[in-house]
Amino acid sequence: MKRNRRLFGGGPQMTEASLQQGFSRRAFVINSFQTGVAALLAARMGYIAIGENERYRDLAESNRVQTRLIPPRRGWIVDRHGQPMAINRADVRVDLIPDFITDREKLLADLARILGLPPEAVQRIRDRLENDRGFQPVPVAEHLNAQQYNMLKVREPDLPGVSVLEGFARFYPEGAAVGHLLGYVGTPNRREYDAENQNPLLITPGYKVGKEGLERVMEPRLRGRPGQARVEVTARGQLVRQLQTLPDSPGAPLRITVDAGLQSFAARRLGEESGSCVVLDCTSGDILCMASMPAYDPNAFSDGISHPEWEMLSTDPRHPLINKTLNALYPPGSTFKPAVAMALMEAGVDPDETVNCPGGYQLGSRRFGCLGTHGPMNMHRAIAKSCNTYFYTMGRRIGIDRFSAMAKRLGLGQRFGELPVVSQSYGTIPDPAWKQRRYHQEWSQADTLNAAIGQGYVILNPLQLAVMAARIASGRDIQPRLIMEPHQPPALLPFAGPSFEAVRSGMDEVVNGNGTAGASRLPFPDIRMAGKTGTAQVRNIVDANRGRAGTAWRYRDHGLFVFFAPVGAPRYAGAVVIEHGLGGARAAAPVACDVMTYLFDKDRAMQRLLPLEAGWGGNVVERSARRAALWNDRAPGSPPPPPPVPL
Amino acid sequence: MALAFVPRSISFLPWKALLIVCSIASIGAVGLYSTSPGGGGGMMPYALPHVMRFSIFLVMALAMSYVKPERYSEFVFVAYAGVILMLFATMVIGEVGGGARSWLNLKLIRIQPSELMKPVLVIVLARFYASVPPREILRWSAIWPAAIMVGFPTLIILAQPDLGTAMLIACCTIVMMFLAGLSIWLFLGGFLLIAAAMPIVFSFLLMPHQRDRVLIFLNPESDPLGAGYHLTQSKIAIGSGGLFGKGFLNGTQASGDFLPEPHTDFIFAAIAEEWGLVGGLVLILLFAMLLRWGMRVSRDARSRFEKLAAAGMTATIFFYASINLLMVMGLAPVVGIPLPLVSYGGSAMLTVMLCLGVLMSIDRNTRKNARR
C-alpha cells in the first residue's frame, strides 16, 4: 500500500455518500465564485461607465474630433493701379503622411500611375520618406487636374497615407518678369519652423511662406490668420465629417508702387540680354519698374523646382538667380559724370570754362585716354560728348572729396534703408579715407582721375543710378519706395538751381542734340528724354583693345544709361544696365527709349517690341521653354550648351 | 405544465438554455452589425456569417443533446486520441493565426484543435474521476493519471504558443479536480505555491512581449499608443457609453477604428459603447443565467460522471467569458480570448456549443429519468 497511500492522513474514509455531499458543498463554492466574478464585473463596469463616464467621454471626444488648421489665403500683391501681380488659385495637392503608409512601394507605384509622375519624382519622394522622420507630410504633387483629382479621391480609402487637399496655390500672372521683384513662396524649412516657435501652421500641408523678394519681406502682412476646422476623423486620420469651421481671414492685399504693365514691358524689352531696368517716379520716389533679366519663373519656384531646373539656372553665365537691380555692382563709367558735373557746379566751376581735349590727359608719365579728340570742351558739350579729358581736368581740380561727397548725396553707394527688399549690395564711392581703411594705401592723383570718369574703385548698383537720375531731374531728395502708403513729399536738395539746370541741359544734349545717344530720341515731337550713356570696362586693358565686339562675351564692356523725361518737367527717371552690352548708347539707351515710350504711348511701344521679340525667337515664355528643352536634351555629363550670345 | 397541443418532443427541449444562448448570440449579431468596417453598420462581413454559423452549431448542439451521456464517456478516448493527433498535425502543417501556430486547415473547415481539446478533456476528467473509487480519491493515484492526460496536450498547446488556451484548460482542470473531491489542502497549498512562484515566473519564464502585457495591464497609461492602447481604448469605449450608451450605430470608438479588434476580442466594449451600462449588464446577466443553468444541470445529474462533466462544461464557458470580460474592463492582462457566442469567429462558438450540447444531453437524461 506504500505506493497508493493517502496524501493527507487523518479524516474518515471517503465513501460514495461523503463524496456526493462534498460535491454539493464544493459546487456551491464554485457557484459563489462565479457569482462573485459576475458581481465584480458588474461593479467594475458601473464604475467605468458611470463613475468615470465624464472623463472617458472627453477622451472619446478628443479621439474623434480633430482640429485642423486651415491655411490662410495669402494677401494679393497688386500694382499701383490695382492690377493683380500675385494671386491665389484654387488648387488640389497631394501629400503623404509617412505614419499611415502600409505598403510604400505599392503606394508609390499607384501614385506614379495615377498622377503620371516621372521616375525621378518618385525617387525624390522615396528619399524623403526614408530620411524624414515623423508626422511631417511629404509633398507629392500639386495642381492636379480634374481627372487625377477624381481618380485619387475615389481611391483615397484604399491608399492609406495619401492626403488629398483642396487649397490655394500662389500664382504670378506675369511669370518671370516679376521673379526678382516679388520673390516666391515655398514650404517652410526647419529653421523657419523653429524661428516661429514651431508654429503648427508652418507644418500644415500646403502652407507656404515667402522665400524671396517682397513675399519674404512682407510675410507678416501677407500671411493672414489661419482658420480652424473641427472634423470627425477615424484612427487612421480619415475624415468622417466636418463639424464646424472657423474660416480663415486672408492676408491684406499689398499695393505696391510698381506698374505691372511697365514691369512686364521692361522685362520683355531686355530680351536676350543680361541686364536690368529701373524706372522711378521722380516726384515721389515710387519704383515703377525694377526688372532684372533673365529671371527665374516664381511660379516654378513656388511649386518647388526640380534639380535639373535648378542646375540650369545656377550654371547660366547670365545669372538668372541674381537680382541685378540690387545685388549686381558695376563701374558706372560715364553715367557717373552727371554727379561729377553737379559737384563742379557746386564747387564754383564756371560751366563755360573750356578744357582742350587732345584725346587724353597726361599725368606724369601716365596717359589717361579719352574716347575722342574733342578739342575745346565746356561742361555742356563735355557731358554731351562724354569727354573724359574735361572730367579728368576738372575732377582733379576740385578733388576727390568734393565729388565723392556729391555722389553720395545723390544716392550713389548708398543703402536705402526703408526699401523692403531682402538685400542690397551698395558698392563703393571711394575717397582717401576709404582707401586708407580698405587697402592701407595713400590716395593717388591717378585714383582721382579714374574716379572722375566712374572707373577705378567706383562700383554701384542700377537702383542707385536710377535714384541719382531722379534726384538730378527733380532736385529733390528722392527715396525709392515699393509700398503704396501715405508719405511726405521728398525735401529739396540743398543745391543751387543753376547747378541742376547745367547738368540737365547737358543730359538733354546727349539725346536730343549733338550727343552720344542721338539714336534714342523719344518718338514724340513734344516729349524729350534726357540721359547719359556709360560704357564700363570689364577688363582693364589699354585703350585700343577695350572689350569690343570681337572679344568673348564675358569680357565685353557693360553698357549703361541713366535718364529722365520729360525734359521740361521731369516725371520719370531711371537707369538701364546691359551686361557686356558693348556700350551705353548701343545697348542701354534704346531700351530706356522704348520703356519711356511705353509710359507715354503703350501701343507705339508694343509695336516696336513685337518685331524685336520675333527676331529673338518668341516671347519670354517661348524662349525659356526652348532653352529648358535644349538643356534637357544635352548628353548626360556634357557641359551645358552655350547660352545664345546677344550681339 | 406543457401546453397540450405542443408535441412532447418540442416541449421537452431545454427551452430556458436555448433562449439564453439565442439571446446572447443575437446581442452578438447586433454588435457585429454595427462594427461592420466603414461605419454605418451592415450584415456583412460579420453579422450574417455569425448568425448562420450560430444556427448550424445550434442544430449540432441539439443533435448532441439526443446522444446519451454514457456514449460520450465511451467514445471519449477515441476523441482524445484523435484530437491529440490533430494537435501534432497542427505542429507540422498548421497555419499561423494571431501569433500562434494553432490552425489546422482541413480543406472543408479551418479549425483550432486546441478548442476541441477543451470539452474532450472535460469528459476525460469526468470519466476518470467517476471511475476513481471514493477511498482512492485522496491518494496520488487520483492525481497523476489526470495530470498526464491533461498535461500532455496542454504542453503542446503551450508550444504553439497559445498561453490563453493553456491557461483556460488549466483552470478548468483545477475546478474539476476540486469538484472531484481532491483534498482541500492540495488547492490551498497550490495557491500559495503559485503566489510564491509568480515573481520567478514573471522574470524568468515569460517572454518579453508577455512580460510587457502584464506590466501594461498594471499601468495601461504608461504606453497609451503601444500595447496599452488596446486597454485604454476599450475603457474609453465602455466609459464613454455611460448609462444608456450612445445609441445603436452611434459608437465612435469602433467605427473610427480607435478600438482595436472591435468584432472579436473587444466586441463587449463596442456593444457597451452603443448600449451603455444597461446593455453590458444584460449581457453579463445572460451569461450568469447560462452558468447557473449549467451548474443546476450538474447538481441535478444522476451519475458522478454526469455531475462532473456538466460542471466542467460550465466552468469552460465561465472561464471563457469571464477572462474576456475581465480583460476588456482592464481587470486582466490582454490575452487573445474572444467573448464566446458574441465575438466573430467560429472557434470559441464551437467550443461553447459543444459544451452546451453535452450539457443538454445530460439535462435530457436527467429529466427523462426523473419522469420515469
- B230-277 pLDDT tens trace: 888 888 888 888 889 888 888 888 777 788 788 888 899 999 999 999
Name which of A34, A35, A49 is nearest B277 (Cβ-Cβ): A49
Nearest CA distance, B87 vs chain A (angstrom): 30
Q: What's chain B's average pLDDT? A: 85
Indicate the residue type of A323.
N
Residue A84 pairs in a beta bridge with: A78
Least confident of A272-286, A297-311, B240-254: A297-311
Q: Quick check: A26 and B179 CB within 8 A?
A: yes
Task: Name the DSSP letter for residue A258.
Answer: -
A236 contacts B240? CB cut-off 8 A: no
pLDDT in tens, A392-427: 999 999 999 999 999 999 999 999 988 999 999 999
Contact call for B258 and A64, based on CB within 8 A: yes
> Does residue B99 register a pLDDT over 70?
no
Confidence of residue A504 (pLDDT cuts 50, 70, 90): very high
Q: Which of A7, A35, A233 to mutate to test the interface with B (most CBs of B within 10 A)?
A: A7
pLDDT confidence tier of residue B221, bands split at 50, 70 and 90 = low
Q: Do A240 and B299 touch (CB under 8 A)?
A: no
* Chain A residues close to B252, C-beta within 8 Å: 60, 63-64, 232
Nearest to B35, CA basis, from B46, B24, B26: B46
Instruction: Kindly determine whether residue A27 and residue B299, on different chains, have CB atoms separated by under 8 Å.
Output: yes
Most confidently modeled of A115-124, A507-516, B326-335?
Answer: A507-516
Q: To the nearest 10°, report the CA torsion of A101, A104, A109, A110.
A: -20
Out of A8, A34, A235, the one facing B183 most closely (by C-beta) is A8
In chain B, the residue whose alpha carbon lies closest to the alpha carbon of A59 is B236
Contact B137 A19 (CB under 8 A): yes
User: What is the pLDDT, as a whole number, of residue B268?
Assistant: 93
B163-180 vs B144-159: helix crossing angle, rounded to 10: 170
Of A55-69, A331-345, A383-397, which range is least confident? A55-69
Out of A24, A45, A240, closest to residue B256 by CB: A240
Query: Among A255, A252, A250, A260, which Cα is nearest to A226's?
Result: A250
Q: How confident is the model at residue A443 (pLDDT cuts 50, 70, 90)?
A: very high
Cell of A129: 520618406
Residue A549 CB-half CA count within 13 A: 4
Give the pLDDT score at A600. 94
- Quick one: pLDDT at residue B39? 67
Mutate to test the interface with A, among B240, B296, B302, B331 (most CBs of A within 10 A): B240
Inter-chain residue contact A53 with B135, CB threshold 8 Å: no
Chain B residues inside the 8 Å CB shell of A52: 239
Cis check: omega of the bond before A308, within 30 degrees of 0: no
Q: Could you read off the pLDDT of A598-647 as tens digits, one per residue?
A: 999 999 999 999 998 888 887 777 777 777 777 767 645 544 444 444 33
What gap in Å lies between CA A175 and CA A303, rounded to an integer? 13
pLDDT at A129: 79
Average pLDDT on A196-207 reads 81
Mean pLDDT for A472-492 is 92
Sequence-separated (6 or more) residues with CB below 8 Å from residue A485:
none
**In the predicted model, is pLDDT for residue A553 greater than 90?**
no
Q: Pairing mode, if any, of strands A287-293 and A366-369?
A: unpaired
Residues present in chain A in total: 647
Task: Please give the pLDDT value at position A91.
Answer: 82
The whole-angstrom separation of Cα A506 and Cα A642 is 41
Mutation target to probe the B interface, by most B beta carbons within 10 A, among A1, A45, A50 is A45
- The answer to whether the CB atoms of B256 and A13 lie below 8 A apart is no
* Percent over 70 (pLDDT), chain A: 92
Residue A99 CB neighbour total at 10 angstroms: 14
Q: How far is B90 from chain A (nearest CA, A)?
A: 31
What pLDDT is recorded for position A133?
54
**pLDDT score, position B98:** 63
Q: Are B173 and B143 in contact (CB under 8 A)?
A: no
Distance between CA atoms of residues A603 and A262, nearest Å: 12
- Contact flag B239-A55 (C-beta cutoff 8 Å): yes
Question: What pLDDT does A380 receive?
Answer: 93
Of A15, A56, A64, A230, which to mutate for an interface test with B (greatest number of B Cβ within 10 Å)? A56
Copy the grid coordinates of residue B73.
464517456
A-to-B residue pairs, Cβ atoms closer than 8 angstroms? 160
Kindly report the nearest CA distance between residue B317 and chain A, in angstroms. Answer: 11
Q: Helix/strand/coil (H, E, C) string of A484-505? A: CCCCCCCCECCCCHHHHHHHHH
Distance from CA of B230 to the nearest CA of A (A): 13
Phi-psi region of B13 (alpha: psi -120 to 50; beta: other; left: phi over 0): beta
SS3 A623: helix
**Interchain proximity B288–A38, CB inside 8 Å:** yes
pLDDT value, residue A634: 62
Q: Cβ contact (<8 Å) for B258 and A235? A: yes
> Measured between CA atoms, how close is A271 to chain B, in angstroms?
59
Percent of all residues in chain A with a pLDDT value above 90, rounded to a whole number? 48
CB atoms within 10 A of CB A40: 15
pLDDT for residue A540 is more than 60: no
3 state SS of A405: helix
* Beta-carbon-side half-sphere exposure of residue B362 (alpha carbons within 13 Å): 32
Q: How far is A3 from chain B (nearest CA, A)?
A: 8
Listing DSSP states for A455-493 in one string gives: -TT-BB-HHHHHHHHHHHHH-B----B-B----PPPPBP
A26 neighbourhood in chain B, CB within 8 Å? 178-179, 181
Q: Which tops the pLDDT comparison, A560 or B107?
A: A560
Looking at residues A323-350, what average pLDDT do you find?
93
**Of A24, A41, A235, which has the smallest distance from its Cβ to B284's Cβ?**
A41
Supply the pLDDT for residue B227: 59
Q: In A, which residues are within 8 Å of B239 by CB distance?
A: 48-49, 52-53, 55-57, 59-60
- Between A548 and B285, the more confident residue is B285
Under an 8 A CB cutoff, do A64 and B325 touch? no
Instruction: Report pLDDT for A22.
Output: 84
- Grid coordinates given for A183: 520673390
Query: Are B242 and A16 inside 8 Å of each other by CB?
Result: no
What DSSP letter does each residue of A88-128 carry, written as one string? Answer: EEEEEEEEE-GGG-S-HHHHHHHHHHHHT--HHHHHHHHHH
